[in-house]
A and B are shown apart, each in its own frame.
Chain A
Amino acid sequence: MPRWIPDDPATESALLAEAGLAESDQLFSDIPRKVRLGRMGVGPAHDELDLVRTVDKILSRNRPYTGFATFLGGRIAPRFVPAAVDAILLRSEFYTSYTPYQPEASQGMLQALFEFQSLWVELSGMDVANASLYDGATAAGEAMLLARRIHEGKRFLVPASLPWEEKSVLANYAMGTGVRIDEIRFDPKTGRLDLEHLKAEVARGDVFGVLADVPNGFGHVDEGLLDMKSLIGAVPYVVVADPLALSVLSPPGDWGADVVVGEGQGFGASPSFGGPLLGLFACRRDHLRFSPGRIVGATKDAEGRPAFTLTLQTREQHIRRSRATSNICTNQSLLALAFVVYASTVGPRGLADLERSLSERARTLANALSGIDGLRAPRFDAPYLHEFTLEVTRGTATGFLDRLRRRKVLGGHPLADPRTPAASPGNELVLTAATEFVGDKEIAKYAKAARTALAHVPGAA
């Protein structure tokens, strides 16, 4: 194995002797024999070259999306990351550091996190942001718990179009608190939330929070979100928002959101098969003391110089224990650093231009697919930015995507919940997204592959 454990056996023996122990087994004399182990059977050690070969061989069985015409998206975005971002992430003073409990020795990370909080405050239009949560879905879960702390009620409303993974994560955040999650219908033509349904549900008086997302689970932009606060009144309004979309859209703070959460991986981090991700969380100042997670504040040092530190720690588990606002200890600091370095490298104009350019490509894609027999693209009428939903009307969504894959196209992902695979007709929806990696050539390839794929499928029922 590589020399990751220092010193030679003689030095270890000397340490042992100085610790007052005769042999190394005495280090474990407090562990009863009856719970001791024999061999674990985890195999032999590898030297560095060996393990690089072993791991590379396994990784060679992957087919990265870079080898396809890629239209995968949703909350997790395959996006180009400028080399400068990773150069900063590889500064080991950052990536090998611990949570900045000792602020004097950790000003670098603390200041970067303060800048990150400032950026999410700016994008979301909220008053305060925390220093990150695990991912967008768990951030939504924490937002729901915050809503419950600030408003009476026992039901939380979410769009029926919310991605199934987020619904499942929310259900788990609800499980311990005994609250119920109910779904608001969407208009089958536009994909937008049915605001009449929302109004009726809120009128029952037992709702402690409402969640809506932009882009929504179908990838579309629902104008109704701008009017929701006036419909729900004092009920807390949680918005799930894509940070890139917010570079061109009005910030949720301007339309009455109480909490704004989102998935931040697209700013500076690779999808990495779904993790690590970045949970974004911001809220109104009034709700700060009920909010989860680490928060960095600006202050001064003993000489009056500007300094940063973790603050409001009396909300947190290591102080408040069973009365903490959350159990969060480890968060996603390094991804928060990636977020702010990426946005600063690309710049605000660059972000807005990127969103505009991806939106153009998405519209080109929709035009290219719209005439194809066996597809409805886009499925819904509402406007969209860089992604939209299409419907496979001939055969199944998974069959369609599988045939695309054989033609080197990753055409999107099915929206159906894989736990209930009974794919009923009308539920063959696919979320498809434009990325920086697709141009006219890839779009033409998608259209051609889609035509071929659907031509071989017997007509839809």
Chain B
Amino acid sequence: MTFRQARYDEPPIWELSRPAELTTGAVPEIPGIPQRFRRARAVEWPELSELEVVRHYTRLSQMNFGIDTNAYPLGSCTMKYNPKVSEQLARRDGAAALHPYQPVETVQGALEILWRLENALGKITGLPEISLQPAAGAHGEYAALLMIRAYFRDRGELEKRTEVLLPDTAHGTNPASAQMAGFTTREIPSVNGCVDLAALRAALSEKTAAFMLTNPNTAGLFESEITELAEAVHGAGAMLYYDGANLNAILGVTNPGRMGFDVAHLNLHKTFATPHGGGGPGAGVLAATETLGPYLPVPRVVKRGRSYRLDYERPHSIGKIKTGYGNFGLDLRAYVFLLAHGEEGLRHISRRSVLNANYLAKKLGKFLPRPFRELVKHEFLLSGAPLKAKGVRTLDLAKRLLDEGYHAPTIYFPSLVDEALMIEFPETESRRELDGFAAAFERAVTDTPENLHAAPTATSVRRVDEVLAARELRLSRKDLAPLSKSS
């Protein structure tokens, strides 16, 4: 594929109006508002026609990769097709024009969507108690750890249970969330890409509040000793936490409940195809056993007869973790995705995403070494270490892949693999796309060091100087003046 991204010299939006138009006149007076509380001068922002605004942002959009234009083999991010029908349905008045404080009698349909989605997610996760309140995966992690905190507080064990254990392959959000929730963290080493069970057993104690695990893990491997891991954690009186980032690989095959997890978060923006939006919004899910269920955020959606209501009378609940009931617009999209697939479709998702990974791993394994065992789940790792001999880093390879029209894989993660590349092609990518990527990868990995260092050349800008960005912080229009003058 020949790939060329649009390359406009599109200035920042404030440069589209003449300076005189930026600051305009007096701010309207509002009766009762004291003079000294009034804005002295109008907000400095351009006055533009609608076409000027639309053209500006349309041009910017053309300088951006999206799933609809380019495939994203981003490991652990599950960048699958975002169905158009979901965008249409989420924009219906019956979904968008609902205020969260409307009386429940007027939002029965919205509560029904939430209830049905919760119900299905309970079956999918094997954990019966569900809340859709988290705005994102990390938000769910944080809330779940607060629930665990509240649970041990109620049992009088919080004083001693101060530590959260996690494998060295854990997502960065895991230790960050644990720290925010007031726990110290400790890493458990991996052996051949999986948790070292003996090391975990040795680390577990009456100080352990929880062990956080992703399964399959970020090396793309299923933790086959999961039952033994769960028994060890529970034997120490601790909770087993499931990071659901990689749920796509196991839909309908196994689930966190069956594996012995006590609480889980899911990312609807991964497994259930809600759009990533350039970084967000996401939508998180909390799923818990009956033991931890009472600690879930309020309100809970309950059904009586044919009607639904919001239940706030949950004395053990941790309370609210955000305004409203979660990212409803995305919950609706996830429900659409679920309805479309049904039981068999969900199984097809895990089967196909694992198939894609194994097929591609076999092909790409010819070019770069694969750490750990052969059989992977929905994603796999390569090590770019051999390229170092010719002065090429994984970063260069990633940039070179952009020129082929593919987003770069996740790179330098997990850190236990030198020069790691983590590759995931979800179920919505075709054989043609997999083969296209394999061919592109071969061209990239065999290219000259000069070309690899010079990449990318087909994107709207060339290699971006991130060091300069961090050294001379220019973070808004206020800081930009020196740059604009020199340009």
Contact = CB atoms under 8 A, between A and B. Distances in A.
Physical interaction between A and B: yes
Contact of B464 (A14, A103, A247): A103
B275 A344 contact: no
17 contacts: A7-B430, A37-B252, A40-B343, A42-B120, A55-B336, A59-B92, A59-B109, A65-B106, A97-B277, A99-B278, A128-B473, A128-B475, A172-B146, A175-B182, A349-B42, A355-B28, A418-B312
Contacts of B332: 55
B178 A322 contact: yes
Interface string A269-281: 0111111110000
A318 interface: yes
A135 B74 CA distance: 27
Interface string B448-464: 00000010100111111
B399 A413 contact: no
Interface stretch (B220-228, B232-240, B385-393): B220-228
A127 B474 contact: no
A74 to B, nearest CB: 7
A115 to B, nearest CB: 5
B342 A44 contact: yes
Nearest to A89: B277
B474 A95 contact: no
Interface in A1-59: 1-2, 4-7, 11-12, 14-16, 18-21, 24, 26-32, 34-37, 39-48, 51-52, 54-56, 58-59
Contacts of A320: 172, 176
A275 B95 contact: no
Contact of B95 (A107, A272, A316, A319): A272
Contact of B480 (A35, A247, A298): A298
Given A273-B328, A297-B469, A88 B61 contact: yes
A318 B227 contact: no
Interface string A135-163: 11110000001000000000000000000
A155 to B, nearest CB: 17
A374 interface: no
B339 A54 contact: yes
A235 interface: no
A250 B278 contact: no
A457 interface: no
A27 B358 contact: yes
A343 B222 CA distance: 48
A384 B182 CA distance: 40
B138 A329 contact: yes
Interface in B117-170: 120, 123-124, 126, 135-139, 141-143, 145-146, 149-150
Nearest to B67: A96
Nearest to A296: B475
A223 interface: yes
Nearest to B484: A306
B180 A326 contact: yes
Q: Which of B38, B53, B116, B323 has the most CB of A within 10 A?
A: B323
Interface in B39-82: 39-40, 42-48, 50, 53-54, 56-70, 72, 74, 77, 79, 81-82
Nearest to A316: B172
Given A61-B112, A248-B28, A104 B461 contact: yes
Interface residues on B, range: 35 or more
Interface in B175-213: 175-185
B159 to A, nearest CB: 12
A97 B66 contact: yes
Nearest to A410: B102
B473 A312 contact: yes
Contact of A332 (B74, B281, B476): B281
Given A72-B102, A349-B47, A330 B39 contact: no
Contact of A107 (B63, B113, B171): B63
B135 A134 contact: yes
Interface in A263-312: 263, 270-277, 288, 294-303, 305-309, 311-312
A173 B45 CA distance: 34
Contacts of A344: 13, 45-46, 48, 53, 56
B100 to A, nearest CB: 3
A18 B359 contact: yes
Interface stretch (A180-188, A200-208, A334-342, A445-453): A334-342
B349 interface: yes
Counting chain A CB atoms within 10 Å of each CB, the highest count among B171, B276, B399 belongs to B276
Interface stretch (B253-261, B285-293, B439-447): B253-261
A250 B36 contact: yes
A266 B417 CA distance: 45
Given A39-B343, A112-B60, A275-B329, A19 B362 contact: yes
B368 interface: no
B462 A303 contact: yes
A408 to B, nearest CB: 10
A90 interface: yes
Nearest to B150: A175
A166 B321 CA distance: 9
B322 interface: yes
A308 to B, nearest CB: 8
A373 interface: no
Interface in A333-366: 333-335, 337, 340-341, 343-345, 347-349, 351-353, 355-356, 359, 363
Nearest to A164: B320
Nearest to A177: B182
Nearest to A6: B430
B179 A12 contact: no
A307 B92 contact: no
Contacts of A330: 135-138, 267, 269, 276, 279-282
B195 to A, nearest CB: 14
A176 interface: yes
B278 A88 contact: no
B474 A299 contact: yes
A84 B50 contact: yes
